[in-house]
């Protein structure tokens, strides 16, 4: 089953709209439609600017979060129709920083993921174990709980619309990278979990690795059989570094 490589830039709480413009001035001209699928995930206030400038280019845009209701008394939240209205294509859901600092739960993700799909947004669902969970051999239990709970309400026919990012929490922003063996083992485990939902569509799901991906380690990770791309934080803030990761992913 061939899956188009997929590389996403998670800018987290970095870049004003004008700083995003500077990034795009440098990055957009290097992107072509025959490379990997490239998705930028800017913070809320740069989202409309980035979506506007990427319209008509091969680069797509995702939010870093989304709420599961369309509107109402939910102060501080942003809904799927609001994102669609400004030309956003997807949403990162369940990033470990949302889970760790903002109380994101698997129960709420079980509502957000199907909501995104129903609205026509591509969910990039993040899962991954902490260092303590890996050291106590709980990685598979954590991944099973997260994947099966968060996707529980996704219809099997829609499974191929989900992108999953395996991001071991201990590798995010730390400079520690999972070894190719650890990354492949976890991503293969996730794909086997998806097979328990739908064996055919499990083969369509893009599974990304995230955690200190840099230009010099991207190629090796992307070449692994169950890794179809990367979710990149720190190295995605620089257009040259992110461009080099995109280039390494096409070759992988």
Binding site for ligand PEP (CB under 6 A): 10, 12, 167, 172-173, 210-213, 231-235
d(C-alpha 127, C-alpha 104), whole Å: 12
- CB-neighbour burial class of residue 237 (10 A; exposed 0-12, middle 13-18, buried 19+): middle
> In whole angstroms, how close is the CB of 165 to ligand PEP at the nearest point?
7
* Phi, psi values for residue 244, rounded to 5°: -70, -35
Minimum CB distance to ligand PEP smaller for 9 or for 159: 9
Residue with tokens 């799901």: 205
Is 104 marked active-site? no
> In whole angstroms, how close is the CB of 213 to ligand PEP at the nearest point?
5
Q: Indicate which residue of 95, 97, 104, 133 is catalytic.
A: 95
Minimum CB distance to ligand PEP smaller for 211 or for 215: 211
**C-alpha 102: how far from chain center:** 18
- The residue number with the shortest CB distance to ligand PEP is 233
> In whole angstroms, how close is the CB of 33 to ligand PEP at the nearest point?
25
Is 95 marked active-site? yes
**CA terminus-to-terminus distance, the chain:** 15
Q: Are 8 and 235 within 8 A, CB to CB?
A: no
Minimum CB distance to ligand PEP smaller for 81 or for 173: 173
**Catalytic residue list:** 95, 167
């Amino acid at each position: 089953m061939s899956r188009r490589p997929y590389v996403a830039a998670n800018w987290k709480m970095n870049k004003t709209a004008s700083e995003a413009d500077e990034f795009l001035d440098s990055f957009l001209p290097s992107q072509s439609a025959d490379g990997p699928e490239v998705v930028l995930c800017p913070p809320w206030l740069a989202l409309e600017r980035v979506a506007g400038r990427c319209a008509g280019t091969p680069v797509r845009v995702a939010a870093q979060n989304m709420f599961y209701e369309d509107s109402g008394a939910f102060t501080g939240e942003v809904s799927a129709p609001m994102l669609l209205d400004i030309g956003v294509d997807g949403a990162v859901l369940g990033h470990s920083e949302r889970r760790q600092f903002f109380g994101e739960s698997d129960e709420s993700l079980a509502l957000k993921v199907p909501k995104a799909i129903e609205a026509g947004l591509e969910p990039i669902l993040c899962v991954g174990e902490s260092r303590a969970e890996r050291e106590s051999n709980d990685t598979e239990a954590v991944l099973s709980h997260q994947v099966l709970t968060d996707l529980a309400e996704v219809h099997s026919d829609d499974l191929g619309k989900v992108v999953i990012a395996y991001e071991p929490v201990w590798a995010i922003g730390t400079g520690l990278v999972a070894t190719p063996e650890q990354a492949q083992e976890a991503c293969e485990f996730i794909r086997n979990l998806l097979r328990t939902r739908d064996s055919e569509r499990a083969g369509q799901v893009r599974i990304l690795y995230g955690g200190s991906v840099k230009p010099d380690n991207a190629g090796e990770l992307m070449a692994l059989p169950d890794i179809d791309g990367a979710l990149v934080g720190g190295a995605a803030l620089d257009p040259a570094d992110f461009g080099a990761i995109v280039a390494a992913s096409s070759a992988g």
